[in-house]
Chains A and B, each alone.
Chain A
Amino acid sequence: MEFDISGARIFFRIPTGLPILGDILITETLVISWIVMAIITGLCIFLTRDLKVEKISKRQALAEMMVDAATNLVRNNTGGTQFDKLIPFVSALFATSIVSNLISLIGLRSPTADLSTEAAWAVVVFIMITSEKIKAGGILGYMKGFTEPIAVMTPFNILSELATPVSMACRHFGNILSGVVINGLIYAALAVASSALLGLIPGAVGDFLSHIPILSVGLPAITSVYFDWFSGCMQAFIFTMLTIMYIANAANG
């Protein structure tokens, strides 16, 4: 029995011949990202069907609660309404992240278990942070910010600036990947264990039963509470919170 953890499967390869970008790969990551988007959008449309002003349905109450929660999260952490334009972005980030993380529960490979996804998000957030900083202090003020408190610190400041998106991406990716790896290991180990256990039964019956990983039922459900549910929700929340905090801090100096 060998166990192998690999990256996302590649379904198609569209050759482009471009030097750095390389071939377009239609991978599991992309396909499942589209599924995630379809789920989120479908949920939004479903929740906002026939809205009423009075005597609202439970569906509408849930939708309003979500909108309220997103609005309050952004407003409370930025102290005011100046970042209201960020609310849809933050919500999209959170929703995509959490649904991507939790989609592994139905046996699909999380798009967030691919560093390309988190890197993409982190770079977008990094660009937003930088643009807020430039908007707040001007391009010169932004440059000058690197030399503080003393000019010697400049390389370290640049390093810490670049560390922001890298750490955000790697934190999220690492957590989700660890879930994938641990769950893979548990499933493999339990399959080996049940094979060994049932292989003790002599004759054809044991031969047949040893191919059914009977021990895989039960224990993975418990470990997945932490590695999929908790970790998935936590990382989505952390990534979103960090985005809001970094952008608010950038704008406030």
Chain B
Amino acid sequence: MGNTQELVTIIPWTFIAQILNLFIQMYLIKRFLFKPINEVLQKRRELADQEIREARDAKEEADSLKVQYEEGLANARTEAAQIVQSAQKEAQVRADETVRQAQEQAAGIRRKAEADIAQEKKKAINEVKDEIGGLAMDIAGKVVEKEINEADHRKLIDEFIKNVGEAS
């Protein structure tokens, strides 16, 4: 057994070789275990992140769609209300107009009728006056047989008629 080293000793070259071995081993572990595994872990993390991101995006989109939809619904509702309101207003206006026109028309007809009546009355009165005047003249001429001043007569008659008119 002469070909062995001492039991407790440090052999310089072995010492140096073991330092190198340790670093070579470090490189090998880094290269063959940590690098590929960390890459896979990184990839998986990215995948998970991406899925979360996509889910969040989808949710945001759904939310915005919901808001849009609700907005549209509210808009439609107000529009409908507006339409109903304006229709009501228009109908009211139109009805008012119709009533007013009818009233105006009625008033016009009435006014015209009154004016006609008044005119007719005047005309009738005048006719009656003339006739009564003439009649009275004739009667007076025949009754009195006396020529009087026509002017005086007229005055008398007019007075008389006036009195008649006032009495009627």
Are B29 and A48 in contact, with the CB atoms below 8 A? no
Q: Taking the complex as formed, is A208 at the interface, i.e. its CB lies under 8 A from any CB of chain B?
A: no
* CA of A40 to CA of B13, assembled, Å: 23
Which residues of chain A are within 8 angstroms of B44 by Cβ–Cβ distance?
Answer: 53-54
Size of B's binding interface in residues, CB under 8 A: 39
Closest partner residue, chain A, to B45 (CB atom) = A53
The smallest beta-carbon distance between A113 and chain B, in angstroms, is: 9
Q: A22-B13, A116-B11 are in contact. Are A40 and B25 (CB under 8 A)?
A: yes
Closest partner residue, chain A, to B31 (CB atom) = A44
* CA of A61 to CA of B29, assembled, Å: 17
Q: A21-B12, A95-B25, A120-B16 are in contact. Are A5 and B7 (CB under 8 A)?
A: yes
Task: Flag the segment in B32-40, B59-67, B70-78, B106-114 that touches A.
Answer: B32-40
Indicate the size class of the contact surface on chain A: 35 or more
Instruction: State which of B5, B10, B25, B28 has its C-beta within 8 Å of the C-beta of A119.
Output: B10
Which residues of chain B are within 8 angstroms of A30 by Cβ–Cβ distance?
Answer: 14, 17-18
The smallest beta-carbon distance between B17 and chain A, in angstroms, is: 6
Instruction: State which of A27, A33, A67 has its C-beta within 8 Å of the C-beta of B21.
Output: A33
Instruction: State which of B1, B10, B32 has its C-beta within 8 Å of the C-beta of A116.
Output: B10
* CA of A51 to CA of B43, assembled, Å: 11
Closest partner residue, chain A, to B3 (CB atom) = A10
* CA of A226 to CA of B10, assembled, Å: 27
Q: Taking the complex as formed, is A7 at the interface, i.e. its CB lies under 8 A from any CB of chain B?
A: yes
Q: A25-B5, A25-B13, A45-B32 are in contact. Are A116 and B38 (CB under 8 A)?
A: no
Interface of A is mostly: helix
Closest partner residue, chain A, to B42 (CB atom) = A53
Closest partner residue, chain B, to A20 (CB atom) = B12
The smallest beta-carbon distance between B8 and chain A, in angstroms, is: 6
* CA of A111 to CA of B22, assembled, Å: 12
Q: A20-B12, A88-B26 are in contact. Are A53 and B40 (CB under 8 A)?
A: yes
* CA of A41 to CA of B33, assembled, Å: 8
Which residues of chain A are within 8 angstroms of B6 by Cβ–Cβ distance?
Answer: 7
* CA of A64 to CA of B45, assembled, Å: 13
Query: 20 other contacts beyond A22-B11, A44-B28, A116-B11, with CB at 8 A cut-off?
Result: A6-B4, A10-B3, A10-B4, A33-B18, A37-B25, A40-B29, A48-B32, A51-B39, A53-B44, A88-B26, A88-B29, A91-B26, A92-B22, A116-B18, A117-B14, A119-B15, A120-B17, A123-B15, A177-B7, A177-B8
A–B Cβ pairs within 8 angstroms, 23 of them: A7-B8, A8-B5, A10-B3, A21-B12, A22-B13, A23-B13, A24-B13, A30-B17, A34-B21, A44-B32, A44-B33, A53-B44, A63-B37, A64-B37, A67-B41, A87-B34, A91-B29, A91-B33, A92-B28, A96-B22, A116-B9, A124-B19, A124-B22
Task: Point out residues on A near B: beta carbons under 8 Å.
Answer: 4-10, 20-25, 27, 29-30, 33-34, 37, 40-41, 44-45, 47-48, 51-54, 60, 63-64, 66-67, 87-89, 91-93, 95-96, 111, 114-117, 119-121, 123-124, 173, 177
